Amino acid sequence: MNSSEASLGDRIAALRLRRNMTQEGLASAAGLSVDVIRKLEQGRRRTARLASINAIARALDTEPSHLVGQPTTFEVGESEDGLPSVLALRQAVSPVGDLLGGDTDLDDPPSITELRASLLSTETIRREGRLGEIGVLLPQLIRDARTAAHAYTGSEAAAANSVLAVAYQVAATTLTALGKEDAAFTAMERSLVAIRRCDDPNLETLAASTLSWVFTKQGRLADAERVALARAHQIEPGFRSGPEDLALWGVLLLRAATAAVRQTKHGTVTDLLRMAKGAAESMGHDRLVYATPFGPTNAGVAKVNFLVEMEKSDEAVRSARTVPALESLPPTWRARFHVDRALAYNDLGKDRASESALLLAEQDAPEWMRYHSTSRRLVEELRGRASRGDAVLGLADRLGLMG
């Protein structure tokens, strides 16, 4: 990932010309003003609302990840014991033995206790945004869980399939973060097969949440909204529902709202956020459900994200000041919140405040920042207006945006 990468505007222009479209034609097809297209292609704007990026991607018949220049491979840090590998992750998700026939799992199976400990470690690393370590550990976890699921019977086989189902979903989110959405969908298919053989009734809900997120990143926004809402309807809690049931339902509502806001369905977003906020308030405080937080804090963070997407930057800044107990969230959630604040300040022309928010995001999840395309685009935009000595120049260097 370096400064030689084409910009968002470069990619839009190249695809537009390949499609024999004018700027006016693209603007019309995407439902945007031609001024937005011109500014992006001319480099006068380096950032855009995700709703706009999705609309342009649909008009150009491509994935949003292609337009934004999403990183496509792992970075290799000096401290890595092994090399994180997209190929190794693909091989773990889709082993050749499944095509040729026969069982290729020849190793002795690990115990269920060992599998669960490995999964827990992987989830902790993921919450901290350390994708390189995920790239090293996850392929082996998938192979181990497959071996155990094939070797064991009864309750032990069900437990191994529970670990395998979640590991596949971690693979799906990791591959999606690297712009490998098709491989991510394969991982989700594998997860659903494992879920049918597992012992955890909540994993189907987790799968709906993960699949909705994968579809959102693919630009399949209507599908993302539909998957999340269908499952939310199935598990809608009642008066006696416990915190975990409320949290699972709330996460699905926020997934659906994320897809809706990128379709500019602002009324739907408001309704879903209201319901999610009610569930969060009933819980009283945030809790982690399968490595995903939900409660009053995350509902507040989601509201800020939606306000930014709806171009209500003043309201987003005000709302951000009221989010409670931010330190209770995992590092990557806090970082995403600070990036949303940075986007809002950028819209308001407050470069120094935007820069400060980005530095807080980096402090929380430095490796995650290097893979996060929105953060990278915003840093590039701020760098273009920066003066010598501004902190954003150092941040650009650390993100590999030298130039």
Which tens digits make up the pLDDT trace of 376-398?
999 999 998 999 889 999 999 99
At 46, the amino acid letter reads R
Tens place of pLDDT per residue across the chain (403 aa): 333 457 888 889 999 999 999 999 999 999 999 999 998 898 888 777 778 888 898 999 988 878 877 777 887 654 445 678 889 999 999 998 777 765 555 568 999 999 999 999 988 898 999 888 898 999 999 999 999 999 999 999 999 999 999 999 999 999 998 888 889 999 999 999 999 999 898 999 999 999 999 999 999 999 999 999 999 999 999 888 899 999 999 999 999 999 999 999 999 999 999 999 999 999 999 999 988 999 999 999 999 999 999 999 999 999 999 999 999 999 999 999 999 999 999 999 999 999 999 999 999 999 999 989 899 999 999 998 999 889 999 999 999 886 5
204-325 shares the fold of 1-69: no
Instruction: Give the model confidence (pLDDT) of 121-152 as tens digits.
Output: 988 898 999 888 898 999 999 999 999 999 99
Alpha-carbon separation of residue 311 from 36, 340, 341, 366 (angstroms): 14, 11, 12, 27
What pLDDT is recorded for position 64?
Answer: 84
CB 84 within 8 A of CB 136: yes
Alpha-carbon separation of residue 21 from 27, 28, 62, 306 (angstroms): 10, 10, 14, 31
CB 290 within 8 A of CB 206: yes
- pTM metric for this prediction: 0.87
CATH architecture of 1-69: Orthogonal Bundle (1.10)
Hey, where are the domains in the chain?
Answer: 1-69, 71-200, 204-325, 330-403
Query: Token digits for 143?
Result: 């192979």
Topology of the domain comprising 204-325: 1.25.40
What pLDDT is recorded for position 354?
Answer: 97
